[in-house]
Structure 1
């Protein structure tokens, strides 16, 4: 096993073998489960701790138990204590979830302790549930990162514990609402079931009344039975029954079982548990119920918990002699699930998701869909760098996976449901961002090593260092702004050629040469005043140099910039007008903006589709400033979105417009006030309109918290319907003021209709569709027919009393935080729009990476020494195929995920199955000599997967059409719509 160190931690690098490191045991898995007594009410006691990977304290502080004045929690002590308690009684069971913490603890243990823990795992006494690096958020996460964080944990567990360490059950007990694609991904990872803790209180009441707390969740409209996942909702989130908490942090009485004592309380404690069990059973369908015994950071003194549970189990079961029908025992979620599977009954089904989530009247947790928008974008940006770094490492054979691990681990942490969600304290948010920054620094070193191999010709020395400019979104790149010569290399991570107009902030004019040495069209566009005054911007660049890059698939182009002399400085003329009608038009689209800066029309010229706008711009809701004492006084905060009124106010009654016309781009710069502006851009040949928005510093000197939205009001007759994506994958239909699975009582007409938007939202009528693509996760709705609104930024002055005890009031450079982002607008015929928005959404989340380098060489000298263009592909791959993962595992071994990213019936051409050759992707690396298909998590050969079978109320079987992919005789892979296939390949 390869071992290296980072920041004082022992980093165990995973191996690529599927062999178990320990002797197989028959003590783990379903066959070792206690299924109880068929004549009794069987209560499965599940001992657990829920350990947030950062929230009120940082992950480091939680692990070590520091700063307990904020929250008493020390995960290292929890794990120490639990292992001792398990060693004392072989009947005891415990589950653990967050591998980010367990990995740290494991690296500190002796071999003797590790072997003891392996024994517990092999005997089923310690079980890993979910097995991801964290318990990820489900609203603000992208499917690429959900897969990665689960794979990171699963890989560690496979290599340390073998098959007995492989998670089979999802345990998403704390995320604030549940995504259908999260369930689909877990099913594709081979999970048999999923447990949830939080569902809408109205949904919970209906299910509890109708005994439908457990169901078969049909999580995909594309993948059929293989995506079905048995799903159970816990009784009370994930806490013990009232009055039966036996942790240091609880005040409930312990079980005092000496009858000679005055405080003897066994009868009272036993009857309390029996009554709680019977009350719970009234809402469930079988004679099995699950009773979670634990909560946030419980079991630091595991002896206290287990000693009382030992007594509780003993005395409850003794009551059977007196006629009690309650039978209780230590169990795990997987054993409880197995008991349900063996109950021989059918189950109701569900096809929608569990958004939005409200825990009480007026308490809709829809604000976190947008909270901390800068962190949400940084997470998405970091994932882009991570995937490209893996590709570069693979194609250059640099074998630096241990260096990439630092960013992988940081990304795993940030998927936590109090991280990318934006529901953490400000200090913790800074810590998450710092971890991503450190990870990116390590990735840059890998990127440099890769380009040191990919760029030089023959035996030429490596070029100068490559570097990122990560704030070009505010037109700043200090290292190049005054340089005479520099290079820009753009790496395209997709398997399709990409046309992109790229902007470089500069202080002078340059000649830009493409890889053939030809000067290409480049134009200077002035940086807007709204950009120049962004707090923290130190660049003196007054212009952006815009040029068009035609990038090869899965490869790079290098462009050389040479400063022009005065004589050469013949710039193409750019026409600028102020406060006059502004018509933006290219070969595909016309955008009409009037002299007052109002967007009036977007016309798809090729399809003759015209969408009219009655209004478009920025509005704000006043955040409710309640004291949280009762539901009607619920405040708007980091979690909850609760506007004071149902009407959003415009940020300004007037606006100014500057119209910029160049050959490669046409721009309308629209200023609403000194803290809200947008730039509407139309690039040459583009099929979508780009809206770059800038919000902040949001003023709060009037003591009013504000929630800023952008709204697009169109003439589309949308009939109360709108459509949002789930984690960047499948799309769900939303209907205003409606829930598919219960009779919904409307209490919050605005926030109750907000849903997470990970990549796109659209409305449509019979002939037209209007789509908005986002560059990060945001919350949005359609509150009126023809209208789409998306929340961009939030600055609030009150806490919503859900634990953070801190208002969501982000600041930077001594004032309110400024946030900038992008939307892409697509207008098309409703029957044909999928192609544009699917491809555009993929390109927004996996866009080319720009690295710069300083040079003094002329183009002739530079091109003689270095390659200026390169592609890993020689064959053109179909447009509906995406390379999701390319990760070098060892010198000859690679993990590769490919996906079909169109849904069924979306497009006449691209919604059909497609066949590709894996060899075409790896041709530059070597010849594939062995291929093993794995589950989505990459931790089990697909041929070895055996999932439990479930039968629905309409007699459908989850195994009826479930099938294994045929063994690969060659490297051809068939993909059906929305299918992801994962392979470990060996090359020669």
Structure 2
């Protein structure tokens, strides 16, 4: 492991000086100008040569890059790129596309200047084209829009800096993700893409589209952004592989083109006729005289000469048949050139307004398990993103200009978005590698955090060193070893949102302390025992038995520091009144909410006191599905990392009895419910809170009975939801779901549970005319509503069989020789439907952009000495900001240049006040840094001025045009900007 980390460090250090170079001078003509549009009187077959290189899956990213661990698979990406470049140079007609910048960046950093110039020439001539251009081919079911934007921006910046405008991707290429999100289509449109192609869609959906010639469409990706969110979308004809019997690669066994008639096995006539038949059969499902054929697959082209040599022959001999009356015209092309040909065909296209979830390959094969698989990794990825955003902000506000150090975490996050990473569908050693990379990136950001706090904390005129800040990443299991036994320490909370927030930190301690706020006042805090469940989590080595809980009101886009000083004997050990009961009725109540439990630990009802709204619960707790075993046929499809298939449709409760411990103080009220030795939940209500927090802990899941188990939490109410429920798309817009229904085909299913599961990236709700129950999640999970009034969410999975999708390893996660323990949070809102959007929009943003806690051990003898030298509170803002505006990105590019993204995160018509357009002064955000002297608006991926964007125009079969006049977009009046619902605007600003 140590050698592996050192190797990774060396590779990343290389990019610190190379990845963010000055932009390469653009070529004068490129892109669509180089496209072959074929023959208008022929069936034009666009040959797209490609490779699909997973950024980790069965092997780690670097094992795949170098080609090591051949006993797993003999795959080496460095050889693929070497081979492709050489093959392209041998014939100027050849074309190739490449997608995954995580690999290409590694390869590029190892090349000579001569090779750099050679590749740039290939790019400028359109012979090598970068498609999508993200750091990885991101997943769509388990990702958050913040990280999707970041990873695409990282790849786009690399391409712009090294190759110029000719390398700007214009096409999305999501050929392998397991279902497709409408929000991704919208984001791609905002990145300036002209189209999107993918290889997977539900088998029933594909069957209908093939019959109705609707494999290509206009995807209306946003109900809020209208045409700015439209994207031409095509489903590829045979996944992303070559047509049957035409796979020309060392990994395939298909016959080559044997064209010397003097030799045995001459096969040109039959191979040519077979190809012509394939072309005609494919054309049946498409509407123009242009069709696309992919030639490539996973890690193809380690010997690209084999592919290109055979394709050269195939093109030659197929086209020669035109003299004999064939109408097939075949040539090398790219997805962008194919798209351009479709655009020039002047057709009208059907449209789509829903999404492509859930994805099924057969009647028992729903790919809905990965929505939850590897729940701890999904949670850690969110935590890592939180640190990344905070570090960027701290680096920018302190003007430390340490972007190259932050790159370590940016790069690791880009890798983590891969569709076999955050999805949880990788092998265990690969999952470990993803986490290790994030951990290393986090360790490096701590240097940046300290550099920033060294400037922000120290008062003017003071010269004392600032104590080093550190993270306690195991605080979620009440462990922070560096502060144990200390006489004094500080806790600093950075709020990354542009609005003040109130949180309640939990600080594990081994002794009692006095706590002082930034004004020097003693903080009212509760000193409460840590639960036995927490203390027995495998791997926890802390000796802390108790924790402090207190209220912290944090300034917008700033920090507070709290000073902990050990109590002396003279100060005594006086505790505030704490009421604790066991197995009695328990009522939690603040001024907004009342939560009632019976003496058996059953949640009875939640009452919204302000709205006089009572929501009864018929049940609430943990249940489990038995994973379907075996995997011998479609009828015996097993549950696995990708697929979820329960043995039956009835989930069993994890226990028949519960123990409830009720704790009430002035600062926190909670019901700790023990279901069994491996399943607990702590339901908490804080003063002034508008939501109920549920912290759930699950594991080790027992498997002694030989049965895999998939654990859900269920919230059963009397809401008359009429088969409808609502889930978010990647943390942004919300889509209506209807049980046992698909909007675009007559749906039938043999799987009533998994067929109704959808991704939940941040929220799910059910409602009727009176009530809405909304559940916010702290990570991506899967779930749905299996009957009216019910929400179920899958939290944890431990499975003993594989689902037969090449992983060949069951999802049986362990730690410290025991089954893995997972802990997470849900926030519950009970509101009238008309008021719910305000609650869940603001609540989800605050949960996602949670304040970051750092600690330090100051070398001061008392609080008085500390307060004389250090600034204990600070905010970047001098004025309040509208509640419907979010600072999505603040990243320092150079000493005076900054990247800023602002978003309006409400949808149209969901709130009377906050769904309105809002105008703000950007200068207000940066008043502490100086004056904005220049602003330029960019597209979402930040690699092109918005005014320079000219997307292709498409017409729907209703006569609607996708055209958007960009001359009217992005107009700036000094630093005032207006945001419309769901709009993200991206700026590069200069601050003097």
User: Offset of 1:803 from its aligned partner?
Assistant: 1.0
Is 1:56 the counterpart of 2:63 in the alignment? no
Alignment counterpart, residue 798 of structure 1, candidates 798, 801, 820: 801
Alignment counterpart, residue 279 of structure 1, candidates 272, 278, 281: 281
Counterpart contact for 2:189–2:230, Cα < 8 Å: yes
User: Offset of 1:626 from its aligned partner?
Assistant: 2.1
Map 1:964-983; keep pairs closer than 5 Å: 964-983=968-987
> For residues 807-834 of structure 1, what are the alpha-carbon distances to aligned partners after superposition, in whole Å with 9 as ceiling and x for unaligned?
0000001110000000000000111111
Alignment counterpart, residue 314 of structure 1, candidates 298, 313, 316: 316
> For residues 275-318 of structure 1, what are the alpha-carbon distances to aligned partners after superposition, in whole Å with 9 as ceiling and x for unaligned?
11111110111110000000000011010000000000000101
Structure-1 separation of matches of 2:639 and 2:104:
35
Aligned twin of 1:21: 24
Counterpart contact for 2:18–2:109, Cα < 8 Å: no
**Could you tell which deviates more after superposition, 851-860 or 563-572?**
563-572
Counterpart contact for 1:16–1:890, Cα < 8 Å: no
Map 1:408-419; keep pairs closer than 5 Å: 408-419=410-421
TM-score (norm 1): 0.98
**Could you tell which deviates more after superposition, 370-379 or 911-920?**
911-920
Structure-2 separation of matches of 1:663 and 1:692:
20
> For residues 773-823 of structure 1, what are the alpha-carbon distances to aligned partners after superposition, in whole Å with 9 as ceiling and x for unaligned?
000000001000000000000000001010110000000011100000000
> For residues 903-927 of structure 1, what are the alpha-carbon distances to aligned partners after superposition, in whole Å with 9 as ceiling and x for unaligned?
1111111010001111111111111
User: Offset of 1:566 from its aligned partner?
Assistant: 3.5
> For residues 532-565 of structure 1, what are the alpha-carbon distances to aligned partners after superposition, in whole Å with 9 as ceiling and x for unaligned?
1111111111112001001000000000011222
Aligned twin of 2:168: 166
What SS is found at the alignment partner of 1:886?
strand
Aligned twin of 2:82: 80
Structure-1 separation of matches of 2:362 and 2:264:
41
Counterpart contact for 2:712–2:794, Cα < 8 Å: yes
Alignment counterpart, residue 722 of structure 1, candidates 720, 725, 738: 725
Aligned twin of 1:941: 945
Is 1:733 the counterpart of 2:721 in the alignment? no
Aligned twin of 2:701: 698
User: Offset of 1:960 from its aligned partner?
Assistant: 5.6
Structure-2 separation of matches of 1:466 and 1:579:
42
> For residues 445-483 of structure 1, what are the alpha-carbon distances to aligned partners after superposition, in whole Å with 9 as ceiling and x for unaligned?
110111011101123223111000111111111111211
1:960–1:483 Cα change, 3 Å: closer
User: Offset of 1:890 from its aligned partner?
Assistant: 0.3
Is 1:681 the counterpart of 2:705 in the alignment? no
What SS is found at the alignment partner of 1:11?
helix
> For residues 870-919 of structure 1, what are the alpha-carbon distances to aligned partners after superposition, in whole Å with 9 as ceiling and x for unaligned?
00000110000000000000000000000000111111110100011111
Alignment counterpart, residue 326 of structure 2, candidates 320, 324, 328: 324
TM-score (norm 2): 0.98
User: Offset of 1:68 from its aligned partner?
Assistant: 1.3
Structure-1 separation of matches of 2:11 and 2:579:
58
1:729–1:573 Cα change, 3 Å: same
Aligned twin of 2:588: 584
Structure-1 separation of matches of 2:679 and 2:640:
22
Structure-2 separation of matches of 1:718 and 1:967:
44
Aligned twin of 1:206: 208
What SS is found at the alignment partner of 2:977?
strand
Aligned twin of 2:4: none
User: Offset of 1:847 from its aligned partner?
Assistant: 0.5
User: Offset of 1:20 from its aligned partner?
Assistant: 5.4
What SS is found at the alignment partner of 2:422?
coil
Counterpart contact for 2:946–2:970, Cα < 8 Å: no
Is 1:496 the counterpart of 2:499 in the alignment? yes
Structure-2 separation of matches of 1:728 and 1:462:
41
Structure-1 separation of matches of 2:772 and 2:751:
28
Counterpart contact for 1:621–1:643, Cα < 8 Å: yes
Alignment counterpart, residue 117 of structure 2, candidates 109, 115, 118: 115
Structure-1 separation of matches of 2:68 and 2:146:
33
Alignment counterpart, residue 768 of structure 2, candidates 765, 769, 775: 765
1:805–1:964 Cα change, 3 Å: farther
What SS is found at the alignment partner of 2:806?
coil
Counterpart contact for 2:363–2:749, Cα < 8 Å: no
Structure-1 separation of matches of 2:528 and 2:575:
11
User: Offset of 1:21 from its aligned partner?
Assistant: 1.9
Aligned twin of 1:880: 884
Counterpart contact for 2:171–2:194, Cα < 8 Å: yes
Structure-1 separation of matches of 2:26 and 2:660:
72
Structure-1 separation of matches of 2:569 and 2:616:
46
Map 1:465-614; keep pairs closer than 5 Å: 465-568=468-571, 569-614=573-618
User: Offset of 1:273 from its aligned partner?
Assistant: 1.0
Tell me the matched-pair count: 982
Alignment counterpart, residue 652 of structure 2, candidates 637, 641, 649: 649
Counterpart contact for 2:135–2:154, Cα < 8 Å: yes
User: Offset of 1:8 from its aligned partner?
Assistant: 4.1
Structure-1 separation of matches of 2:636 and 2:968:
53
Counterpart contact for 2:55–2:100, Cα < 8 Å: yes
Aligned twin of 2:3: none
User: Offset of 1:6 from its aligned partner?
Assistant: 4.5
User: Offset of 1:430 from its aligned partner?
Assistant: 0.2
Is 1:870 the counterpart of 2:874 in the alignment? yes
Alignment counterpart, residue 920 of structure 2, candidates 916, 921, 929: 916
Structure-2 separation of matches of 1:857 and 1:385:
31
Is 1:247 the counterpart of 2:214 in the alignment? no
Is 1:754 the counterpart of 2:757 in the alignment? yes
Gaps of 5+ in 2: 1-6
Structure-2 separation of matches of 1:226 and 1:489:
41
Gaps of 5+ in 1: none
User: Offset of 1:25 from its aligned partner?
Assistant: 3.6
User: Offset of 1:410 from its aligned partner?
Assistant: 0.2
Aligned twin of 1:95: 97
Aligned twin of 1:31: 33
What SS is found at the alignment partner of 2:44?
strand
What SS is found at the alignment partner of 2:379?
helix
User: Offset of 1:508 from its aligned partner?
Assistant: 2.2
User: Offset of 1:969 from its aligned partner?
Assistant: 3.3
Structure-2 separation of matches of 1:186 and 1:363:
29
User: Offset of 1:570 from its aligned partner?
Assistant: 1.1
User: Offset of 1:567 from its aligned partner?
Assistant: 4.0
Is 1:775 the counterpart of 2:775 in the alignment? no
Structure-1 separation of matches of 2:752 and 2:442:
42
RMSD: 1.3
Counterpart contact for 2:26–2:166, Cα < 8 Å: no
Alignment counterpart, residue 450 of structure 1, candidates 449, 452, 457: 452
Structure-2 separation of matches of 1:677 and 1:783:
23
What SS is found at the alignment partner of 2:534?
helix
Structure-2 separation of matches of 1:614 and 1:961:
53
